[in-house]
Amino acid sequence: MHFRKRAAEASETQGSVSSVVADILTDVQQHGEVAVRKYEEKFGGVKRPQLRVSEQELDDAISTLDAETKGLIETTVARVIRFAEAQKDCLHPLEETFDDGIVLGHRFIPIASVGAYVPGGRFPLLSSAAMVVAPARVAGVPRIVACSPANYNNSIHPAVLYGLKLSGATEIYAIGGAQAIAMMAYGMEGIAPVDFLSGPGNRFVAEAKRQAFGDVGIDLIAGPSEVLVLADETGDAETIARDLLAQAEHDPFARAILVTTSDQLADDTITAVERVLASQPTTWPAQASWLQMGEVVVAASLDEAIDICNDYAIEHLHVQTKEPRALVERLTNYGSLFLGEQSSVVFSDKVSGTNHTLPTKRAARYTGGLWVGTYLKVVTHQEITGDGTQFLARHATRQSQIEGLVGHEMSAAVRLLTRQI
């Protein structure tokens, strides 16, 4: 294995982000809306009469959208809902008898309230609202609080608002950044805190979710975007270059990586990427992303390339080899898998139906992405009677005696027909 190009070191330290976020979370907990408004003005220059988006504001914003834009959003929401419903259909409650008198089972219960963060960022991402909110709606979450930055005429972009409405948000607030996470996690005047936070965001949003975890649940720490293209000598450099840059344009710290078994493809892809970058403005986020975070790795064999992919545990893994399906069982660590040159990651970003809120920074080693099951609690139950009670009571009594747990022993033994207290 050798590198044609390797990522540079990121300049911003995590420590500075953590400190800033900790101050924001504490301030919002102590001072509520006053603190939220302070940070909205400080970081976004935002001053709104009401932080919550009213029905009138929502309707007025949506009325500015043309039919084509609304149609695109409607298609995306419908496809995300359809896939989430199919996933939910795979989940079944369980109740079975495990020996006489021992009935065990589980149920799926929707989380009562969810805080959904939808990034504003550099572009109004038309599909982000659907990805975060629609699965919660399908899961049956009754209260879905959505926050997104007021970076469009002192409000949320109309396309994002339309997506939030269609997807099922029950409350919408024009608040961004760590202060939005703090407001949802801890509440403020007249607004109850949520039980769970979901959705991607920048480093400050991700760190706020990390610090709030425990007080509330979280889906995962997502972002910045990552893509790894796995290609052999059959890969097309021009296509791969565009696939890499599509994800690189999300953020200057996004990661775009090629792992290939072909020296020629490695060189050709670097040339193609540089040619595309030369044709774009220097302010394009992909410029900084490729300079700081871009990598091209040449593996000695396909086996080594697969090992590299599993070690990177990347968010989007795009297989562009001669027989991509032959590799599926050997690829185990990724957020979402894209098989074949035609399966662009952009399709999932926008409209295919799978969720684009996915694990980054090697979290794919232990978790998948956001899905309808994220919003469902799997809770167990049991009913023990008759012979089952006697069997379990004898076992639990003796085990408790060995462990020295007197209270456990008494609770088990009191249920024996022949008391052993």
Q: Which conformational region is residue 313 in: left (phi greater than 0), alpha (psi within -120 to 50 degrees), or beta?
A: left
For residue 201, give the DSSP letter: -
Amino acid letter for position 339: L
Say how far apart CA 356 and CA 222 lie, in whole Å: 10
- The sign of the dihedral angle between the CA atoms of 7, 9, 10, 13 is positive
From the list 157, 316, 318, 356, the catalytic residue is: 316
Q: Is 316 a catalytic residue?
A: yes
CB 105, CB 94: distance < 8 Å: yes
| Structure token pair of residue 363 | 């979290």
The phi and psi torsions of 382 (rounded to 5 degrees) equal -150, 150
| Strands of 73-225, DSSP E | 94-97, 102-110, 113-117, 143-147, 171-173, 196-198, 217-218
For residue 152, give the DSSP letter: B
| Structure token pair of residue 367 | 């978790």
- The sign of the dihedral angle between the CA atoms of 55, 56, 57, 63 is positive
- The sign of the dihedral angle between the CA atoms of 389, 391, 392, 398 is positive
Say how far apart CA 166 and CA 49 lie, in whole Å: 25
From the list 40, 315, 341, 409, the catalytic residue is: 315
CA–CA–CA angle 340, 363, 371 (5° rounding): 70
Residues β-bridged to residue 198: 116
Q: Is 315 a catalytic residue?
A: yes
Burial class (CB in 10 A: 0-12, 13-18, 19+), 45: exposed
Burial class (CB in 10 A: 0-12, 13-18, 19+), 124: buried
User: Nearest to residue 127, comparing CAs of 75, 177, 55?
Assistant: 75
Element containing residue 320 per DSSP (H, E): strand 314-320
Sequence-separated (6 or more) residues with CB below 8 Å from residue 236: 320, 341
CB 106, CB 380: distance < 8 Å: yes
Q: Which residues are designated catalytic?
A: 315-316
